[in-house]
Amino acid sequence: MTDRDVHLPVAAQPSVDSLADYAGRAEDGGYDCVWLPETWGRDAVTVLTAIAERTDAVDLGTSIVNAYSRSPALLGQTAATLQEASEGRFRLGIGPSGPVVIENWHGLEYGNPLRRTRETVEIVRQVLSGEPVDYDGDEFSLSGFRLRCEAPDPAPPVEVTGMGPKAVELAGRFADGWHAIMLAPDGVRDRLADLERGAELGERDPEDVAVTVGVTCCALEDADRARELARQHVAFYVGGMGTFYRDALERQGYDEAETIHDAWQAGDRERALGAVSEELLDDLCAVGDPETARERLERFEAVDGIDAVAVSFPRGADESEIEATMDALAPDSRE
């Protein structure tokens, strides 16, 4: 059976305690892994440390931390430490993010994101081995670094995110897992072909690469409210977070993605929201009343090659709406 994970909400959460409470709720509901994004609020490492102390069985991971604002050596140290703090439950999810985040927020040059991601994965693995790190790449050159604490056993998996064909191919070649987002079921199938090609290039078995697909979910008795929240969420990401989400939708044949992006950039939020078609909303998201949301989530779980579906929440959902969705879609609620 496909795992069912949860992406913890990060928008406007009142405290670290509230995020830890969501993680505990997820554990109680039988979710397999709790993933924490890192955006422009609380840092993921501190929050996951708190969650590790307050949970016992659920896996914990970053999805994602970017590959720029921390060095690869520090990411390796962080992964080793969180693996220790969680008693073997940690999974490191990294990715290049995009120019809006890396250049505007962190003041760093974006450069070659695929190369940087690959080299980061390779260096993190060397750090986690406990052996001296000697690495000569295009992005990084390291010599003599070695963990002063005991290397984690087992080492946590190092997973990456990616949206375009080349990024997903890279995941297949080098990573322990691939995290997908802003994909309809048919879009996932297309990208799985890229993953398999990458695995072949890396002389690996594609089944050794764990595939996790994030799906925006909102399961409320007020189905119209659920759809409204999801529509706002899609419009914000396609319109306001660079061009990656727009491009991902266009690759899947959703021509309205350009209209959503351009309208949002022009400040016409109403037009951007109106351009999110009912078909797009239904294909990308699992929203509506609880029964409908469950059925739509199961469409993703039926895709051959997906190992886990991660329930995520619209950025405008309040605490009661997040809890209602988490409970309605909890693995323990499956028949």
User: pLDDT (tens digit, 9 = 90+) per residue, 67-92?
Assistant: 999 999 999 999 999 999 999 999 99
Q: Tell me the three state secondary structure of residue 302.
A: coil
DSSP count for the chain of H helices, then E strands: 14, 12
Mean pLDDT estimate for the chain: 95
Average pLDDT over residues 126-141: 97
The answer, yes or no, to whether residue 221 has pLDDT greater than 80, is yes
Q: pLDDT class for 99, splitting at 50, 70, 90?
A: confident
Q: pLDDT class for 40, splitting at 50, 70, 90?
A: confident
pLDDT of 172-211, one tens digit each?
Answer: 999 999 999 999 999 999 999 999 999 999 999 999 999 9
How distant, in Å, are the alpha carbons of 14, 242, 331, 332 from that of 29?
22, 35, 6, 6
Cβ atoms of 163 and 174 within 8 Å: the answer is no
Average pLDDT over residues 147-155: 96
In sequence order, which residues have a C-beta less than 8 Å from that of residue 114 and are 6 or more positions away?
Answer: 96, 166, 167, 170
Cβ atoms of 87 and 60 within 8 Å: the answer is no
Class at the top of the CATH hierarchy for domain 1-161:
alpha beta
Q: Report how far residue 120's alpha carbon sits from residue 133's, in angstroms, rounded to the nearest whole number.
A: 12
In sequence order, which residues have a C-beta less than 8 Å from that of residue 158 and are 6 or more positions away?
Answer: 79, 92, 94, 121, 124, 125, 128, 175, 176, 177
Token pair 């993605």 is found at: 257
| The dihedral formed by the CA atoms of 262, 226, 18 and 106, expressed in degrees to the nearest 10 | -10
pLDDT on residue 335: 58
pLDDT on residue 105: 87
Q: pLDDT class for 100, splitting at 50, 70, 90?
A: confident
